[in-house]
Each structure stands twice: as structure tokens, then as C-alpha cells.
Amino acid sequence: MTDTTAQSLSTRSVHAGEHRDPQGAIHTPLYTHSTFAFESTADLLDVVEGRTPGNLYTRYGLNPTIRSVEAKLADLEGGEQALAFSSGMAAEAATFLAHTRTGEHIVCLGDVYGGTFELLGANLPQLGITTTFLRGDEVERLPEVLTDRTRIVFFETPSNPTLEVFDIWAIAEQARTVGALTVVDNTFATPVNQNPLSHGADLVVHSATKYLGGHSDLTAGALIGPGELLAPVGMWRKNLGQTIAPETASLLARSIRSLPVRVRAQNEAAAAVAAFLAAHPRVLRVNYPGLATGEQKRIVDAQMRAGGGMLSAVLDATADQTAAVVDRLRLFAIAPSLGGVESLVTQPITTTHHGVDPGERARRGIADGMIRLSVGLEDADDLIQDLAHALDTP
């Protein structure tokens, strides 16, 4: 494998983890095989007993295509190792299962993806693993809710859909006082804009379905961190059969090679869209890390390199009027995902927060007039024109 130490992110995105096969294929080839053969029993035992890194069985992740994309993921997040999963939820579920036991506790800070909320709030309690949910504006209550049974503090930064940022360093410091791990979902920021491990997080999780995949054509997840924290997670992944498929791993590696180019263009276009919306008379508020002020700006400046490609805006409009604005958009497709080359729009009350009680939505700043935008690779001026037409049509 190429030694990528000290190279820039763009170079590492292309070269990290790659190896050429004897035929000279320019990237790591796709090995669809479920099993790998050995010259001798001694050679097999070297891999089985962990003395030699090697290929063995694909569900274990011991497949060259999977190991290659994992090396790339670890490199980009500045972690020792990575595990690639069949989805972001698979990565989260295996992490929670591996690092908590019955009777233990998780703290979830701020707004998180609906599936995460359901996993923590409905599935894990069936196993006697409970979660305390703190709203973003309750972050100062963290020390009060941490107990000697708290094993994980989990959060997204920026969060969905309010794009709130959390101080990774300060939270990790508090989590450590009770021996809890800090697990950060870095899906929105991507390793281009933020590396949570370098700000004190213990583990980083991704829905690779989003920016890492980047083309809305694959579903995958990733967990990055020190080997000793990944080993128990790897066992759950293996035995729950959650390993990424080699075909998806190859597609994911293909996408990550262009990640910095895509994300930097998306950062720029999103900043332009956010500035346009902030100046529009029908817009009450724009949530975008690049426009943060006060304490939020301090956190953005301390841990993010750019504002990212995601933003939300609250329109001076009812739920129906907001839906009409969304329906008039032509370049932004109405779809619940994010991070792809094409721009997407959602009204959170109809998607991610559809089932949430209106009072709770209001407390969390998720207004009926909120739209969430995932800015793609279209020209920013075209996107702004599309928004102007949708907002200005009576």
C-alpha cells in the first residue's frame, strides 16, 4: 500500500489504502469472492490467529476490496483502523451493542437522525440499555445526566436539521470523567470539513450512503477509531452479518477518490445559497455553520474547516405554503437523503420529524416553515435562481 503520511487530503483520498494487483489494475480490484485459499494450514492459522493480516472470509471483512476501502477511511479520518458496514445504521447499532451491556446507559445530545432516535429510544431499551436524550440547548446539563453506568455519549455535529454544532473537545472531556466513550456522527461534515478524532472523540461513525458515497447509488456505513475499540464492534459486525458487500466497497472507494473535490464545491455552493436565503424577505432564519454567530461560531472556527453542503431555512410561511415552495423547485429534488451530486430538498415536518410531537418540534426549532437543503454539484447561480423562482412566486 502507498505510504500517504504527511500528504494532503486530496492526495490521500486518491492513494490511501490502494494496492495494485499483479495485473497492474490501477486501483484495488473488486474481489467478489466469499472465501480465500491458503498454501498451507500454517498460513491459514497465521491469518485466523491474527499474526498476519490477510484475506479469509468476506463476512469477517477479511476481503482485499473491503480492507482497502477501510484503510482509506481510516486514513481520511486520522484513525488507526476502520470497519465498513452495510449501512450507517449497521455501524451505529454494532457500536452501541459492543460498548454497552444490560443496565448501562447512553447519552444522546441534540437532534439526531430519526433511525438513530428509534434505535436508542425503542430497540436498545428492549435489551435493558437506556438513553437520556438532551436537546441541544440542554448541553450544559450533560454532567448531571452522566452516571457511572454511562458508556457512550453520542451526537451529530453539525446536527440534522438545525445544523447545530457541539464542542467535541468539551463534551469528550466530560464523558471521560465517568469513563464514557464519545462517539461522533460525522456524516454531515465529512472528513473534508472536520476530523472529530483530532478534537477528542473516541470513535467516528458515518452514513457512507451520503457524502462518502456521494452519488446516491450506494448504501454503506463506517466506524473509525483505535483498534482496541473497534475489535469488539468487529465481532458484532461479523456475527450479525453487517459487513459491507465487496461490490459496494469498490463503489465507495471509487467515490472517496473524488470526495474532497465534491465536498469543497458543495461547501462553496452551499455558502452562496445560504447567503442568498439569509437576504431573502420570505426567510426568517438560515441555519448554516458558515453563518454561525457567537458561541456557535467559536465552535465552528475551532473544529470545522468549512460550513459544509447542508443547510436549513425557516420561511415566513405556513406548512402548506412551505410545501408549495418546495413543490415549485425544479433543480432540488424532493427526497429524504443528502450528500449526493444532485441537490435535494425536504420539509423536515414531512420527513425526518414527521412523527415528532409538534410541541417537541417547536422546542427543537423545527418550524412548520423549515426546509432542509442538500446542495449538490449544480452551479450555485442556477440553484439560487431555482430558489428565487420558488420563493417569489405568489
Q: Which residue is nearest to ligand PLP (CB)?
A: 88
Smallest gap, in angstroms, from Cβ of residue 375 to ligand PLP? 15
Residue of 57, 59, 141, 282 marked catalytic: 59
Nearer of residues 13 and 207 to ligand PLP, judged by Cβ = 207
**Rounded to whole angstroms, how far apart are CA atoms 376 and 62?**
34
Least distance CB 220 / ligand PLP (angstroms):
7
Shortest reach from residue 179's CB to ligand PLP, in Å: 25
- Identify the CA nearest to 16 among candidates 61, 60, 81, 63: 81
Of 259 and 380, which has the nearer Cβ to ligand PLP? Answer: 259
Q: Of all helices (H) and strands (E), which one includes residue 170? A: helix 168-177
| For ligand PLP, the closer CB: 175 or 310 | 310
For the bound state, the minimum distance from the C-beta of residue 141 to ligand PLP, rounded and expressed in Å, comes to 23
Catalytic residue among 167, 185, 202, 368: 185
Spatial strand order of the sheet with 181-185 comes to 81-85, 221-225, 203-207, 181-185, 150-156, 105-109, 130-134
- Across 273-293, b (16+ Cβ under 10 Å) vs e yields bbbbbeebebbebbbbbbbbe
Q: Give whole-number Cα distances, 223 to 81, 163, 229, 231, 394, in Å.
A: 9, 22, 10, 11, 46
Packing angle between helix 246-256 and helix 64-77, nearest 10 degrees? 40
- Those residues whose C-beta lies under 8 Å from the C-beta of residue 215, and which sit 6 or more positions away, are 255, 340, 341
Cα 94-97-101 angle, rounded to 5 deg: 170
Q: Give the active site residue among 12, 67, 72, 210.
A: 210
If the CB atoms of residues 31 and 166 are measured against ligand PLP, the closer one turns out to be 166
Q: How far is the CB of 114 from ligand PLP (least distance, A)?
A: 8
Q: Which of 12, 67, 111, 113 is catalytic?
A: 113
Nearer to ligand PLP, 200 or 339 (CB): 339
Active site residue 59: yes
Question: Quick check: is 185 catalytic?
Answer: yes
C-alpha 386/C-alpha 207 separation (Å) is 28
Coil/strand/helix, residue 240 = helix
- Judged by the rule CB under 6 A, the positions of this chain that interact with ligand PLP are 87-89, 113, 115, 156, 160, 185, 187, 207, 209, 219, 221
Q: Which residues are catalytic?
A: 59, 113, 185, 210
